[in-house]
Copies of this chain bind each other. A is one copy, B any other.
Amino acid sequence: MAQDQPQDQPIALSDCHEAGHVPGQCPMDAVLKLLMGPWTTYIVWLLETQGPLRFGEIKARMPAISSKVLTERLRHLEAANLVSRDYRPTIPPQVSYALTTRGHELKGVLNGISVIAQRWQAEDNAATQKHAS
């Protein structure tokens, strides 16, 4: 991935960043907006680690989310082609969600963020402890 680039090259980001910036016109903004809301990364992680899940199964693993928001998040992820929706009109209906190829492509990036986030948190904790003693 991009990490193979020599570290002294200027960061590229998206072309929209070249001129006066207007939020919402940038591919990066689109991806960040997708990932950002609460729950979203957790949904992707669930589908990544546990495979396809039904609506109720996802909800059971996120007790605090409301149906409305879960539905909305899944619709957004579906619209972005990150998850696929499989609807079976049985009684009662069965709807299962799975990551698409594009969804799996996020794995590397998410892991990168996770690694950094955990390292920073560990550093902060260590600093706090040292400061408290």
Contact = CB atoms under 8 A, between A and B. Distances in A.
Nearest to A23: B38
Contacts of A117: 14, 26-28, 30-31
Given A20-B63, A36-B32, A64-B21, A109 B112 contact: yes
Interface string A42-57: 1001001100000000
Given A36-B36, A109-B109, A48 B11 contact: yes
Contact of A111 (B13, B36, B105, B120): B13
Interface string A101-119: 0100111111111111110
Interface of A is mostly: helix
Interface of A: 1-3, 5, 7, 10-15, 17, 20-24, 26-33, 35-36, 38-39, 41-42, 45, 48-49, 61-64, 81, 102, 105-118, 120-121
B64 A22 contact: yes
B3 A113 contact: no
A32 to B, nearest CB: 6
A21 B42 contact: yes
